[in-house]
């Protein structure tokens, strides 16, 4: 049976319609692979820079670390933070300051008593760790001070640590340039 | 076996969204923990723990007269002293404790202006002294009670030399001439 061109055209149209009706909807997939690559690179870079710091220094509020041209990295040690308002050791406020000076009641003969007590506990622990490793203990204090910190307070801090056999001191600075 | 070319291979894609979520959480966490500014440290010694020089340098130093370079930071300038005679002291007197040997660069500036001290003159003096005592690296720094930490740090920078890069020096390497007095001893009430 032969079909007329009109009939053939209509049939073709019907077939096309049927095909369209049964066709699944196209869903657009978001290509995440390239984004994933970028994010992975950023994470690896950040993790590496995080891991390369032997000690993590996070300045406390209202603290302006002095600037210097010194380029030596910070060695591992016990960090003491001091701003123009507070003295912080082991994330704990041990003394307060007024006009950049320590409360005279907490300083006895250049020794900052609350700091001495906290530092003594930490020193004992640190010495035990070194003893366990079979290494000689060398006390190292990192002073993260404010640029306006008075010299007399620096001397008091060094004297207090010195009483607990700390022989190495470092002043934390922000590198210029 | 016949291969049907028209049939598309359906590959199951890995669901990376949970991993992406973790990664996006890790980025701000690591950024917060990261150093914004580059931090470094200045090693200082209290008087009795002054760093001992190496035996070779010690031999070389024996030929030199001990310098005993001291810088006292005053409210109105630096007082520089050495073993021989204090800068600016009267003839016949070893020391003159009345005034600074390097006065302020900006005398009218406020005390909170840390650049009011003449650090260039101090560095020039340190260079001059280094010419006399080539193997000397120790400087004793002391200050008046009210002197801020920034001035102390700037003083250490000046006596160390502005061109000095200590990080580049290896352990057995000779100290470059641009590094002047880089081993500061912090002393209380010296002068």
CA distance B169 to chain A (A): 10
- Domain residue limits at B156: 47-186
Half-sphere exposure of B94 (CA within 13 A, CB side): 4
Please indicate, yes or no, if residue A37 is contained in any of the structural domains.
Answer: no
Q: Decide if A46 touches B, using CB distance below 8 A.
A: yes
Which of residues 25 through 44 in chain B touch A, CB cutoff 8 A? 26-27, 30-31, 33-35, 37-44
d(CA B126, CA A42): 46
User: Mean pLDDT over residues B24-48, rounded?
Assistant: 81
CA distance B57 to chain A (A): 22
> CA of B41: which chain A residue's CA is closest?
A172
Report the pLDDT value the prediction gives residue A154, as an integer from 0 to 100. 92
Report the pLDDT value the prediction gives residue B78, as an integer from 0 to 100. 93
Report the pLDDT value the prediction gives residue B82, as an integer from 0 to 100. 84
Please indicate, yes or no, if residue B142 is contained in any of the structural domains.
Answer: yes
Out of A36, A65, A151, closest to residue B20 by CB: A36
In eight-state DSSP terms, residue B48 is G
Whether residues A70 and B186 touch (CB distance < 8 A) is answered with: no
Across the strands, what pairs with B70? B81, B140
Whether residues B73 and A151 touch (CB distance < 8 A) is answered with: yes
Please indicate, yes or no, if residue A141 is contained in any of the structural domains.
Answer: yes
Work out the pLDDT band at A52, boundaries 50, 70, 90.
low
Domain count, chain A: 1
User: Mean pLDDT over residues A95-124, rounded?
Assistant: 89
d(CA A28, CA B149): 62
Work out the pLDDT band at A35, boundaries 50, 70, 90.
confident
Q: What is the average pLDDT value for chain A, to the nearest integer?
A: 86
Closest CA to B34 of A74, A177, A144, A53: A53
C-alpha distances out from residue B61 to B51, B114, B152, Å? 14, 35, 27
Please indicate, yes or no, if residue A47 is contained in any of the structural domains.
Answer: no
Please indicate, yes or no, if residue A84 is contained in any of the structural domains.
Answer: yes
Please indicate, yes or no, if residue B110 is contained in any of the structural domains.
Answer: yes
Q: Decide if A39 touches B, using CB distance below 8 A.
A: yes
Whether residues B41 and A72 touch (CB distance < 8 A) is answered with: yes
Report the pLDDT value the prediction gives residue A94, as an integer from 0 to 100. 92
Please indicate, yes or no, if residue B6 is contained in any of the structural domains.
Answer: no
Whether residues A70 and B166 touch (CB distance < 8 A) is answered with: yes
What share of chain A in percent tops pLDDT 90? 34
Whether residues A69 and B162 touch (CB distance < 8 A) is answered with: yes
- Domain residue limits at A75: 67-175
Please indicate, yes or no, if residue B134 is contained in any of the structural domains.
Answer: yes
User: DSSP readout, chain A?
Assistant: ----HHHHHHHHHHHHHHHHHHPPPP-PPP--HHHHHHHHHHHHHHHHHHHT-SS---PPTT--PPEES--PPPPS-EEEEE-SSEEEETTEEEEEEETTEE-TTTEETTEEHHHHHHHHHHHHHHHHHHHHHT----EEEEEEE-TT-BHHHHHHHHHHHHTTTEEEEEEEEEEP-
Q: What is the average pLDDT value for chain B, to the nearest integer?
A: 80
Domain count, chain B: 1
> Which of A100, A171, A172 to probe the B interface (max B CBs under 10 A)?
A171
CA distance A69 to chain B (A): 7
In eight-state DSSP terms, residue B136 is -
Q: Decide if B16 touches A, using CB distance below 8 A.
A: yes
Burial of A53 (0-12, 13-18, 19+ CB in 10 A): middle
Please indicate, yes or no, if residue B169 is contained in any of the structural domains.
Answer: yes
Please indicate, yes or no, if residue B55 is contained in any of the structural domains.
Answer: yes
Whether residues B16 and A171 touch (CB distance < 8 A) is answered with: no
Please indicate, yes or no, if residue A30 is contained in any of the structural domains.
Answer: no
Report the pLDDT value the prediction gives residue B7, as an integer from 0 to 100. 59
Whether residues A69 and B112 touch (CB distance < 8 A) is answered with: no
Closest CA to B141 of B93, B94, B183, B85: B183
d(CA A126, CA B176): 37
Please indicate, yes or no, if residue A2 is contained in any of the structural domains.
Answer: no
Q: Which two tokens stand for residue B6?
A: 């028209």
Please indicate, yes or no, if residue A10 is contained in any of the structural domains.
Answer: no
Query: How open is the CA angle B40-A40-B33, to the nearest 5 degrees?
Result: 30
Using DSSP, state whether B179 is helix, strand or coil. Answer: coil
Report the pLDDT value the prediction gives residue B77, as an integer from 0 to 100. 92
Closest CA to B157 of A175, A59, A144: A175
Please indicate, yes or no, if residue A158 is contained in any of the structural domains.
Answer: yes
CA distance A2 to chain B (A): 32
d(CA A106, CA A97): 10
User: Mean pLDDT over residues A112-136, rounded?
Assistant: 90
Q: Decide if B50 touches A, using CB distance below 8 A.
A: no
Closest CA to A56 of A24, A91, A25: A91
Q: Is the pLDDT assigned to residue B57 strictly greater than 60?
A: no
Please indicate, yes or no, if residue B102 is contained in any of the structural domains.
Answer: yes
Predicted TM-score (pTM) of the model is: 0.75
Q: Tell me which of A157 and B83 has the higher pLDDT.
A: A157
Q: Tell me which of A111 and B89 has the higher pLDDT.
A: A111
């Amino acid at each position: 049976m032969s079909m007329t061109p009109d009939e053939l055209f209509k049939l073709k149209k019907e077939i096309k319609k049927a095909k369209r009706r049964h066709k699944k909807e196209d869903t657009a997939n978001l290509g995440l692979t390239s984004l994933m690559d970028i994010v992975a690179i950023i994470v690896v870079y950040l993790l590496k820079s995080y891991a390369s710091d032997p000690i993590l220094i996070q300045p406390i509020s209202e603290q302006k670390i002095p600037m210097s041209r010194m380029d030596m990295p910070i060695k591992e040690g016990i960090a003491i933070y001091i701003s123009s308002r507070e003295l912080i050791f082991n994330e704990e406020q041990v003394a307060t300051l007024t006009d950049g000076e320590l409360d005279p009641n907490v300083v006895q003969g250049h020794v900052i008593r609350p700091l001495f007590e906290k530092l003594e506990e930490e020193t004992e622990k640190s010495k035990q760790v070194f003893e366990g490793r079979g290494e000689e203990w060398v006390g190292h204090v990192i002073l993260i001070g404010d640029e306006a910190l008075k010299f007399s307070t620096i001397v008091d801090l060094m004297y207090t640590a010195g009483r607990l056999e700390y022989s190495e001191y470092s002043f934390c600075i922000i590198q210029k340039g | 076996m016949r291969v049907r070319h028209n049939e598309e291979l359906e590959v199951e894609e890995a669901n990376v969204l949970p991993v992406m979520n973790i990664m996006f959480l890790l980025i701000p966490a690591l950024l917060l923990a990261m150093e914004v500014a580059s931090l470094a440290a200045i090693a200082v010694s209290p008087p009795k723990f002054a760093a001992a020089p190496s035996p070779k340098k010690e031999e070389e130093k024996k030929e030199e007269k001990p310098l005993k370079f001291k810088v006292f930071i005053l409210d109105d300038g630096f007082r520089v002293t050495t073993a021989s005679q204090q800068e600016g002291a009267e003839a016949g007197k070893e020391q003159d404790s009345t005034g600074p040997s390097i006065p302020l660069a900006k005398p009218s500036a406020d005390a909170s202006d840390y650049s009011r001290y003449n650090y260039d003159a101090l560095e020039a003096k340190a260079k001059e002294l280094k010419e006399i005592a080539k193997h000397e690296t120790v400087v004793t720094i002391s200050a008046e009670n009210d002197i801020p930490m920034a001035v102390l740090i700037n003083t250490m920078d000046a006596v160390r030399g502005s061109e000095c890069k200590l990080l580049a020096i290896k352990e057995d390497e000779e100290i470059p001439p641009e590094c002047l007095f880089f081993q500061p001893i912090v002393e209380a009430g010296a002068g």
